[in-house]
Amino acid sequence: MKKKTLSLFIILPIVVAAFAVGYALLNTRGASAVNYRTEPLTRGDIQATVVATGSLNAITTVEVGSQVSGRIAELYADFNSPVKEGQVIAELEQSIFITRVKQNEANYRSAVAALEKSQVNENNARKSLERSEELFQRGLVSPEEREKAEELHLSSQADVKANQARLEQAQAQLDTSQVDLEHTVIKSPIDGIVISRNVNVGQTVAASFQAPVLFVIAEDLRKMQVNCSVDEADIGKVKEGQRAKFTVDAFPDDTFYGTVTQVRFSPVELQNVITYDSIIEVENPELKLKPGMTATVTIIVAESKDVLMVPNQALGFNPPMSREQMASLMQGMRGERPQEREEAAGQERPARQGDEARRARMALRESGSTVWTLNEKNEPVPIFFLPGIKDYNYTEVRRGDLKEGQLIIIGMEGSSNTDSDEGRRRGFMPFGPRR
């Protein structure tokens, strides 16, 4: 029994130690065996865009109304009717306006007759005054008779002026009634096409406070514009002259192109959201596009051709690294720190070959973005680069040590994220700001 007890005390610790070592080895192997997903760098075109929605409208749209009230007697234009400037498109009932013109013509003739009569009276009064003056000089009439003749002359002159004013008033009333009669004939103010007709024959229109809209005429539907609403966060990127493309639900397989012609300063607030109207002019030679269609617009605010591109997934990747690996990598990256400290302290040192390249790498590290690649040991190492414009999938490489075809880590096998949870738990972030 003593020998069995002694054997158990000897064997048990050995078994426990072996199990612990084996477990640690298995964990180490599992931790080190990380499979990364990579993608080779390619060259291509990148477009930075701003997406907005808007509606299609004719460049020039005129609402044709009636300046007088009346009943619609005739319509000479309908929906989609092409019209020319000055063409008659509708008429109102004219009988009451013709009657008013005749009445005012009679008033005008009466005013003319009254003026002529007052002019005759004024002429007679003037001659009577002249005779009274002559007789008064001879002492044949009294001063009272002379004053009476002078008063009669002045009164006749006043009647002439009053009748002249009445004649002008009658002339104005006649002109007004004639203009109203002319307004019963509705004419097109521009060349274009009728896109809306709002009245029918027999309908009465009232123009007491504002002109009722009878027709809406678009000047030329072969040239149209998109009034799109751009979010305030994106409006700073939109400039006049930029290219734009858009689609409409009526033709989902067609892409239409235009140019930004105006960025308006007036803000539009809707449910606490601020947007700004931007105008995009488009060609419509086939008349496919119609006023009121909803357009999904993509404005190209920046563009680069045949540039090296980094997948955006790679910019958000953080590798899982142990403290030892991170410390070793940090130590390697600090190889240039003494020079940086000397320059910051203002110490003079002789220029050495490669200082300019070293400073360029330091600038990239501090102001650029970071991606990761694998070295010969299948370990992730960072590469710094200066980013340019970006779209939804790629970012332009403006400067850095990246090369076409180089494999860049975009994530880990079996991970739904490009960011490593292990790296975040270890408190590790890529060098330089994440863009």
pLDDT digits (tens, 9 = 90+) for 275-321: 999 999 999 999 999 999 999 999 999 999 999 999 999 988 878 76
pLDDT of residue 332: 60
Q: Which of 136, 160, 183 is the last residue of a domain?
A: 183
Evaluate whether residue 1 is within a structural domain. no
CATH number at residue 388: 2.40.420.20
CB 304 within 8 Å of CB 44:
no
Residues 270 and 253 reside in one and the same domain: yes
Evaluate whether residue 19 is within a structural domain. no
Evaluate whether residue 14 is within a structural domain. no
Evaluate whether residue 255 is within a structural domain. yes
Residue type, 104: N
Evaluate whether residue 6 is within a structural domain. no
- Tracing tokens 């710094």 back to the chain, one arrives at 384
How far is 64 from 88, CA to CA, in rounded Å?
12
Under the phi-then-psi rule, with left for phi > 0, alpha for psi from -120 to 50, and beta for the rest, what region is 241?
left
**Per-residue pLDDT for 409 more than 70?**
yes
CATH number at residue 86: 2.40.50.100
What is the mean predicted confidence (pLDDT) over 26-45?
A: 73
Condensed to tens digits (0 to 9), the pLDDT of residues 118-136 reads 999 999 999 988 888 888 8
Residues 149 and 269 reside in one and the same domain: no
Mean pLDDT of the chain: 82
Condensed to tens digits (0 to 9), the pLDDT of residues 75-87 reads 999 999 999 999 9
Task: List the end-to-end C-alpha distance of the chain, in Å, as a whole number.
Answer: 72
- Taking the C-alpha atoms of 15, 17, 21 and 24 in order, what is their torsion angle to the nearest 10 degrees? 110
Evaluate whether residue 7 is within a structural domain. no
pLDDT of residue 421: 44
Instruction: State the pLDDT confidence band at 25, using cuts at 50, 70 and 90.
Output: very low
What is the mean predicted confidence (pLDDT) over 34-38?
A: 86
Evaluate whether residue 391 is within a structural domain. yes
Residues 234 and 176 reside in one and the same domain: no
Q: Which of 306, 334, 368 is the last residue of a domain?
A: 306
Residues 238 and 280 reside in one and the same domain: yes
Residues 39 and 161 reside in one and the same domain: no
Residues 234 and 258 reside in one and the same domain: yes
Q: Which residue has the higher pLDDT, 375 or 225?
A: 225
How far is 297 from 279, CA to CA, in rounded Å?
11
**Per-residue pLDDT for 8 more than 70?**
no
Q: Reading across the β-sheet that carries 213-218, which strands appear in turn?
A: 61-65, 213-218, 192-197, 82-83
pLDDT of residue 347: 46
**E strands along 222-293, which residues?**
223-231, 243-248, 251-270, 273-283
The answer to pTM > 0.85 is no
CATH number at residue 284: 2.40.30.170
Residues 332 and 418 reside in one and the same domain: yes
Condensed to tens digits (0 to 9), the pLDDT of residues 344-376 reads 444 444 445 455 555 555 554 555 688 899 888
Condensed to tens digits (0 to 9), the pLDDT of residues 157-214 reads 999 999 999 999 999 999 999 999 999 999 999 999 999 999 999 999 998 777 789 9
Domain count for the chain: 4
Residues 144 and 128 reside in one and the same domain: yes
pLDDT of residue 418: 44
Evaluate whether residue 435 is within a structural domain. no
Residues 233 and 267 reside in one and the same domain: yes
CB atoms within 10 A of CB 31: 11
- Host domain of residue 70: 64-92+187-215
How far is 370 from 433, CA to CA, in rounded Å?
8
pLDDT of residue 351: 47
Q: Which of 163, 183, 203 is the last residue of a domain?
A: 183
Residues 168 and 275 reside in one and the same domain: no
pLDDT of residue 21: 43
Residues 204 and 85 reside in one and the same domain: yes
Residues 333 and 359 reside in one and the same domain: yes
Instruction: State the pLDDT confidence band at 28, using cuts at 50, 70 and 90.
Output: very low
User: Mean pLDDT lowest for which of 39-48, 155-164, 381-390?
Assistant: 381-390
